[in-house]
Structures are given as C-alpha cells and as structure tokens.
A = this chain, B = another copy of it.
C-alpha cells in the first residue's frame, strides 16, 4: 500500500482500516499493550499519583527542519508530563487524516513518532484513526495524550515559585518557531534554523535526582518564554525578573527576528524548559543540566521577586527595566 493515498474507507472501521492499522501503525508502534487492538489498553501502573495530559498538533507544514508533526506530538506530551515531575509511561495517538494524504507521508510521521517514543522510553499503547473528506482537514492532525507516574516526594507546580528562587532556562529560545516560520514562508537564512523538538524527560530526571525540590517547570511552547514566565508569575503570585543579556538565542534566530521584526521571547520552543529552583541549588543544577545533551546551554537567566507580583520584567544591559507582557494572540497560527 506504499504507493497509495489515504481513502475515506481507511477511517471506516472496516477492512481498509484494519489494513492501515496493521501495515502502518502496528508495524512501527509494536508493543504488547497495543497489539490486541482492544477498546482500551490494559497497563501496569506503579504508585498512586498519576499525571495526565493531552495536546493536539496541527503544525503546518507537517515536515520541517529538525522534525515533523509526529516527533512534535510525542515530545510535546512527554514534556508536559515531565514538567510535573512525572515519569512518562504511556502515550495515546489519535490521527485525523485528510483524504488523499500519501500513505508514505503518514508512515514517515508514524516512524518518527516511534523513534521519538523509543528515545523518551515511552510506549504508544492505544490509538484511533479518522479520515475526513478533502478540504475538511489540512493533511494531518495528531492528538497525543500521555500518562505518567509521579514519585511520592515530588511536588513540581507552576504555583510553587517563591521570592528569591532562581530561574533556569535549558537553552536557546525561538528555534522551533523560527524553523516553522522560515519553512512556511520559504525564507532562507544565512545558516539553517532547525526545530529544537526533543523529549526532555531524561534531562528532568537528572535534575530531580540532584534537586528533588525543583519548585516549578514548564516548557515554553506556544507564546514562547514570555508567556510561560507570565503564567508562572500569575500562578505563584510572584514577580519574575530576567536579564536580557542572559537569555540564550542563536545568532541565526536573532538575525531572523531582527529582519522580520519579531521578538524571540514570544517564539515557540519544543525542546526547552524553564525551571524555578531554590537559589542555593541553582549552580549545581545548571552544571548537571549542561552534562545532558538537551541542556548544554542551560543558564540562570533571572530570579523570582516579591515585588510586582504577577508581572515579568526584563532588565537590559543598561539596567533599564521593561514589562514583558502576554500578547493578545500569538504572532503565528499553527506553530505546533
């Protein structure tokens, strides 16, 4: 079926559906929980605290430098679990496919999901396929939900930041957003910009081993670093101050932002995290993060303040402070 296009019948529950499930999904996602194709997968669950999350992915285009919609879908859900201090265990995958999508494109996405799941150490244990008519969807949408186990002593929440805490960023900002944008607009920059999409649970696991008292973590996806920091400030009822010169950004992204009049603080990231940690533990944590391949450029970019609760302030090289607000709406749709 490799030369074929997806037909409405592939979403019907009949023989065509079974063929697609066996030849594409089961082949790549092979595991004991998925294989019997029951109405629900039956799984071992360790412990008594469960983390549960979901995200739909509608990124356009579905293939882009550094990844594709499938890699994004697995990373995004793994990361949302990791941000609560959970060990990601199981992922579900719901596909909404536009009639006429080449089966080879679907298979490339599915293979990418399988590879990313292996890297993250999670299993894709249940799924669903729907096919809609031409022009009723745009190629392919994917929903992933994820389940993880949260160790007893862990309490990571955007509501836990306290004045005096340090704010760590795991690496450069804006790579994913700019990669999508440049691909979509056919822009060519001096050096190629690739998405940072990556599963962060390994990095988080190292961090929590060293410092179980990490207060808050979040991956700055839609709305970028600026929006994420505002969410933490509001949820915790604290102020946040960051230093402009310390926020890592690649030369290529910075240059592209200048050219296009965009602010990298609002560009989406898919393989970065911000962590709010007790100040005395920050240096040791940053050291540990830098030893992990997804945290090589980790750095303290600011701290939590008692003043200006609910607000994020950025101080530039001249000591001038300005408020970093949440935008009414993001700069671009369908970035993830």
Q: Which residues of A contact B (CB under 8 A)?
A: 7-18, 36-58, 60, 79-81, 83-84, 86, 90, 92-96, 125-128, 130-133, 135-138, 141, 143, 145-148, 150, 157-159, 218-219, 221-223, 227, 231, 235, 326-330, 333-334
Contacts and interface: CB of A to CB of B under 8 A. Distances in A.
A11 B331 CA distance: 11
A128 B76 CA distance: 12
Nearest to A55: B128
- Chief secondary structure at chain A's binding surface: mixed
A84 B127 CA distance: 15
Closest 5 CB pairs of A and B: A9-B329, A13-B222, A12-B330, A145-B145, A13-B223
A44 B49 contact: yes
Contacts of A49: 42-45
Contact of A36 (B83, B94, B137, B159): B159
Contacts of A43: 49-52
A125 B147 CA distance: 12
A328 B41 contact: no
A131 to B, nearest CB: 7
Contacts of A125: 52
A219 B9 contact: no
27 contacts: A7-B329, A8-B333, A9-B329, A11-B333, A14-B327, A14-B330, A15-B326, A16-B329, A17-B329, A38-B84, A39-B53, A39-B83, A42-B49, A44-B49, A45-B47, A45-B50, A53-B92, A54-B92, A54-B126, A56-B96, A57-B130, A58-B136, A58-B137, A94-B145, A132-B334, A137-B141, A143-B145
